[in-house]
Amino acid sequence: MNNTLRTILAATLLAAGAAQAQVTVQDAWVRATVPQQKGTGAFMQLRSAKDVRLVSASSPSAPIVEVHEMALQDNVMRMRHVPGLELPAGKTVELKPGGYHVMLMDLPAQVKAGDTVPLTLVFEGKDGQRESVQVQAPVRAVNASAAPAQHKH
Ligand SMILES: [Cu+2]
């Protein structure tokens, strides 16, 4: 990750105003799509000072955004929507291809390398307090053969 991006992310977190921000986001990126592809994943590393859960996400780039888990089921890699992703205090949780990801669905347009996808992540603490974190995720082209199995939504 380059330092410029790190700075942008830090600035974005500050801009979100959360002086009490508990969650940091690093190395966020979105996988580029091919024409007609309707869904793609956003990946990143999340770390929280307190126990929180990632409960929802949204983006102006996609009407439907869900937190997904990819796992082997009956010898087939499948996605499923998870209601929340636990972030234990002080532990880095990685969203990566083949595992957890933020799924952008019903994309109205192709997502191209070099674009930036804004994401809003909502975290909920044990006390029910919610915190939103804004992320500007750069789009990266990734060899399609390395892509996870087709989504079955
Ligand atoms: Cu998915």
With contact defined as beta carbons under 8 Å apart, do 41 and 105 qualify?
A: no
Report CA(80)–ligand 1 centroid distance (Å).
7
Beta-bridge mates of residue 122 = 56, 132
Report CA(11)–ligand 1 centroid distance (Å).
29
Q: Where are the domains of the chain?
A: 3-143
Q: pLDDT tens for residues 115-138?
A: 999 999 999 999 999 999 999 999
Closest CA to 55 of 130, 107, 127, 137: 130
pLDDT mean over 10-19? 51
Give the per-residue pLDDT at 19.
46
Give the per-residue pLDDT at 73.
86
Q: What is the identity of the amino acid at 121?
A: L
Report CA(39)–ligand 1 centroid distance (Å).
8
Q: What is the mean pLDDT of the chain?
A: 87
Q: pLDDT tens for residues 31-66?
A: 999 999 999 999 999 999 999 999 999 999 999 999
Q: Enumerate residues with CB within 5 Å of ligand 1 (an ion).
A: 68, 79, 103
Please tell me the distance from the alpha carbon of residue 12 to that of residue 135, in angstroms, as a whole number: 7
Pick the CATH number of 3-143 from 3.40.50.2300, 3.30.1490.20, 2.60.40.1890, 3.40.50.300: 2.60.40.1890
Residue 57, token pair as written in the block? 């996400």
Report CA(85)–ligand 1 centroid distance (Å).
14
Report CA(66)–ligand 1 centroid distance (Å).
8
